[in-house]
Structure 1
Amino acid sequence: MIELNGTTIQTLDEHPMTELPAGGHLMTVVVSVEPNNPGTPAHRHPGPVYGYVLEGEMIVELEGDAPVLKRAGDTIWEPGGDRIHYQAANPGNTELRFVVLMACKDGEDMLTFASDEKLEARKHLRHPGPVVDPRAAA
């Protein structure tokens, strides 16, 4: 933590940015998901995604990783590329809001939905669960 002239800077999370494409661009969005909603269907991002949960709870599930419960104040990291993002679901009874910063090459879509054929071919890479709650383990 850094404190300077009445300003406090607290690092929440860090990741190397080796995935940033040359000539790319960044997009910052706020995502809202209604209560008890599975969120966006399975998809991929061409570049890294970094986020922060503003309100509510979400289940984040990336290909190969156990699904994780995130709450307000938690960070989100996704390397992008070929890994499928299975869910950013809202399991709660209140609205979920999170902000994400996404990077990609110029001319590429920030989000591409995974086809049924792709999901079937890669189903062996999906973690069987259950949802991990890091705060419960602490």
Structure 2
Amino acid sequence: MTSSRFCFALLVAAGLLGGQATAWAHGDVADQVKVLQEKQPSNAPGKNAVMLTVSYAPGEASPAHQHPGAVMAYVLEGAVVSKLNDEQETTYKAGEFWYEAPGTVHSVSRNASKTQPAKLLVWSLVDVGKAVTEPVGK
């Protein structure tokens, strides 16, 4: 999938996720992102908790993006290369995980393999009405 298709998919995701402003920059809703649940927790007024999976085909990558809310990611299968803010690129394998503080720039997010798929489980806590993911610089 090309970067332009990812950007288009971001706009599609914003319109398809239950009328919420939730969106994800990692691909189209049907093939790449599967929202497992989205709730407004009673102990976090004004916030949406979103749980989803992100699937990467072999060699697939996402465009640079940031998250206005906190994000926790867990690699379910394969391996993913990630670069957050000014940190070094890190490869996370199945069973490994990371945290992204609100506003973290995620400049690299890609499948580490050219031959095997990769899949993430992602949880985010974001303000109601905000997208889970925004383009860098917004």
Identify the residue that residue 101 of structure 1 maps to in structure 2.
Answer: 123
Query: Gaps (5+ residues) in structure 1?
Result: 1-20, 119-138
Tell me if 1:31 matches 2:54.
Answer: yes
How far is 1:114 from its partner?
1.7
Q: Which amino acid aligns with 2:96?
A: D
Match of 1:68 among 90, 99, 102: 90
How far, CA to CA, are the matches of 2:91 and 2:76 in structure 1?
14
Cα deviation, 1:41-70, whole Å, max 9, x if unaligned, reads 000111110011000011011111111010
Tell me if 1:90 matches 2:114.
Answer: no
Cα deviation, 1:79-122, whole Å, max 9, x if unaligned, reads 122x310122112120000100011100111111125xx8xxxx
Alpha-carbon contact 2:91-2:112 (below 8 Å) kept: no
How far is 1:22 from its partner?
4.7
How far, CA to CA, are the matches of 1:73 and 1:67 in structure 2?
18
How far, CA to CA, are the matches of 1:56 and 1:88 in structure 2?
13
Cα deviation, 1:27-47, whole Å, max 9, x if unaligned, reads 00100001112x210001111
How far, CA to CA, are the matches of 1:41 and 1:80 in structure 2?
18
Cα deviation, 1:1-32, whole Å, max 9, x if unaligned, reads xxxxxxxxxxxxxxxxxxxx752111001000
How far, CA to CA, are the matches of 2:102 and 2:63 in structure 1?
16
TM (norm. structure 1) is 0.64
Report how many aligned residue pairs link the two structures.
95
Percentage of matched positions with identical amino acids: 28
Identify the residue that residue 80 of structure 1 maps to in structure 2.
Answer: 102
How far is 1:76 from its partner?
1.9
Bigger-Rg structure (1/2)? 1
Q: Displaced runs of 4+ in structure 1, greater than 3 A?
A: none
